[in-house]
Structure 1
Amino acid sequence: MIEAELKARVRDPEYVMKRLDRMTHGRAEVYQDTYYDSPSRSLEAKDQELRVRTIHGPDSTRSVLTYKGARVDSASGSKPEHETVVDDPEAVHAMLRGLGYVPAIAFQKRCRNYEFRASARDLLATLVQVPEIDGTFLEVETMVRDPKELAAALDDIRSVMRELRIEADDFTTELYTDAVAARRTPG
């Protein structure tokens, strides 16, 4: 599966949240993300990601293990993604460390998630704030099976984002991991 996703900086978060709240019920969640890599940073060098995410919601906490392959579309940053639910995140952290991976970076994301259908696709829109990064971001994503479907899926996502007043120069492919790491680097 490929995660077709676009991310943008949001100029008017209140407007976007009100529009999304009219479309569907939003769910506030806090993500605690830990990204792993080899000591030599071989995953980063291959544009791959290995992450353990624990999601704290109002009624439950759940965890997932995610592997993302290298980008299949440089303009959007869309990547193949494989994810599975984890019953015991501490065991997964121990397994990854036992396999030689080390935590590369860990940080928190404060999210408001909206699931809805548009253009005959299941979409997830997420308003994101990372305490260590200025501003609010909007991610809109859907999953596609075939790389040939990616362009059409991204067009559908762009259409939704236009409805939310996201402009062409608002889009970004900067990774939160890179932005947080830059913030933590002295000087």
Structure 2
Amino acid sequence: MIEAELKARVHAPHQVLAALDDRAEGRTEVYRDTYYDTASGDLESQDQELRVRTVHGPDGTRTVLTHKGARVDEESGSKPEHETRVEDAGAVHAMLRGLGYLPTVAFEKHCRNYSFEACGRQMLATLVRVPELEGTFLELETLVEEKDLPAALHDLRDVFSELGIGPEDLTREQYTAAVRTTRTR
């Protein structure tokens, strides 16, 4: 499956939050993400990602291991995604290190998630603040077959528009790169 995803900078977070609250019940969660790669950066050079995410929320803590393949759409940055829940985060971190992967960057995302249906699709909207970065972001995603990606991206843009977010607010900026840049200043 492809994670059709668009991300935007949010200039009026309280308005977007209110609009999302009108659509669905939100849940507040903190993500602790650790990205891995080989010492020579093989995954990054192939536009792939390997991530361990531990999510702390009102219903407890869960950890997922995610691999994202290379982009299938340059404009949006949408990628194939494979994800599985893991029982023991420490064991997964140890396994990845044992296989030769090294943590390349780790950071927190403070999120408010909304699951809802729009345009006939299940969507997830995530209002994001990364403490190390300025501003608020909105990620909007849905899982689709690759052949349905253009239509799904159109639908995501429609929902952004309904939330008052225009095409000029869309960004392909990656949190990993932005956090690394902030830390090297």
When the two structures are superposed, what TM-score results if normalisation uses the length of structure 1? Answer: 0.98
What corresponds to 1:161 in structure 2? 160
What corresponds to 1:180 in structure 2? 179
Q: What are structure 2's unaligned runs of at least 5 residues?
A: none
Deviation at 1:168, TM superposition (A): 1.2
What corresponds to 2:87 in structure 1? 87
What corresponds to 2:71 in structure 1? 71
Deviation at 1:58, TM superposition (A): 1.4
Letter in 1 for 2:184: T
Alpha-carbon distance in 1 for matches of 2:6, 2:182: 23
Q: How big is the alpha-carbon RMSD for the aligned residues of Structure 1 and Structure 2?
A: 0.5
SS of the residue 1:159 aligns to: helix
Percent of aligned positions that are identical = 64
What corresponds to 1:151 in structure 2? 150
Any runs of at least 4 consecutive aligned residues in structure 1 with deviations exceeding 6 A, and if so which? none
Alpha-carbon distance in 2 for matches of 1:134, 1:86: 31
When the two structures are superposed, what TM-score results if normalisation uses the length of structure 2? Answer: 0.99
Deviation at 1:116, TM superposition (A): 0.1
What corresponds to 2:110 in structure 1? 110
What corresponds to 1:23 in structure 2? 23
1:53 aligns with 2:49: no
What corresponds to 2:9 in structure 1? 9
Aligned residues: 185
What corresponds to 1:41 in structure 2? 41
Deviation at 1:122, TM superposition (A): 0.2
What corresponds to 1:171 in structure 2? 170
Q: Deviations over 1:10-58 (max 9, x none)?
A: 0100000000001110000000000000000110000000000000001
Q: What are structure 1's unaligned runs of at least 5 residues?
A: none
Deviation at 1:59, TM superposition (A): 2.4
